[in-house]
Amino acid sequence: MTLERWRRLTEWPTLAAALVFLGAYSVQVIANLRDEEGMWAEALVWVAWGVFVLDYGGQLVLAPQRGRWFARNLHELAILALPALRPLRLLRLVTFLRVVHNKAGSALRGRLLLYVVGSAAMIIYCGALAAEDVEQNEPGANIRSFGDAIWWALETITTVGYGDRYPVTIAGRFVAAGLMMAGIAVLGVVTASIAAWLVESVSAQTAAEVEAEVAEVEAEVEAIDESLEAKVEALTEQVARLAAALEERQRNSEPA
């Protein structure tokens, strides 16, 4: 068993676990369930957490250079070990984008659009959940419903920031910082893709215009060639007639 094969085998199970975690966590946060009411959701969260731990352990065991892999994936260990970082487990949904990307074909624009739209939607939803989770029961907080959280996440990721909604807890501010950086990245990708599309469109239009001009010039050259050929043929015929007339005159002028 190799690390790459392990990743391929666990791709769909970890995706399913991430979706289960997302559903259970969403119910916990949006419904603001008390401990006794949300035991079933908490059980699903722990089941998903167990899948994540199994995947992490399998990758660690199969990694060719375990120490190097461990150092590069300390964030995975922190997300699994620290309850405060529980919302970050939703980043496992990146697996879904990778799976869909593999089925999306080779069109660069299609893959780019998929990543931008999918990543933005996932970041907004997960950021709103995380913010509501840490803010909704805090005194003085103004993000107390999922609607407030979504509105705040949209304001933040688009860098608009009206200021009508804002986090008051330290954890909420960390979530906001992550959304700000993600918003800059998403807007950068969108701007770059639009610029690339414009350049591609202008290049295609220019190429079409050049091809049309070349075709027009070729048609004119062909017409000129045909005209020259006709004139040459006419001159040839005229020279032949003159030569025949001259030869006839010479024969007539000879003494009998």
Say how far apart CA 72 and CA 115 lie, in whole Å: 24
Put residue 33 in one of left, alpha, beta given phi > 0 → left and psi -120 to 50 → alpha. beta
Q: Where are the domains of the chain?
A: 1-90, 104-221
pLDDT tens sequence across 163-205: 889 999 988 888 888 888 877 877 777 677 667 767 777 777 7
CATH classification number, 104-221, choose in 1.10.490.20, 1.10.287.70, 2.40.50.140, 3.40.50.300: 1.10.287.70
Q: Residue 218 is encoded by which pair of tokens? A: 């070729």
Residues 63-83: b if buried by 16+ CB within 10 A, e if exposed = beeeeebeeeeeebeebbeee
| Secondary structure E strands in 71-201 | none
Say how far apart CA 27 and CA 11 lie, in whole Å: 25
Give residue for tokens 């997300």: 79
Angstrom distances, CA of residue 157 to CA of 95, 126, 144, 182: 22, 12, 19, 7
User: Comparing C-alpha atoms, which of 67, 59, 65, 23 is closest to residue 42?
Assistant: 23
pLDDT tens sequence across 56-74: 899 888 988 888 888 888 8
Residue scoring higher pLDDT (143 or 200): 143
pTM beyond 0.75, yes or no: no
Among positive and negative, which fits the CA dihedral 34, 40, 46, 49?
Answer: negative
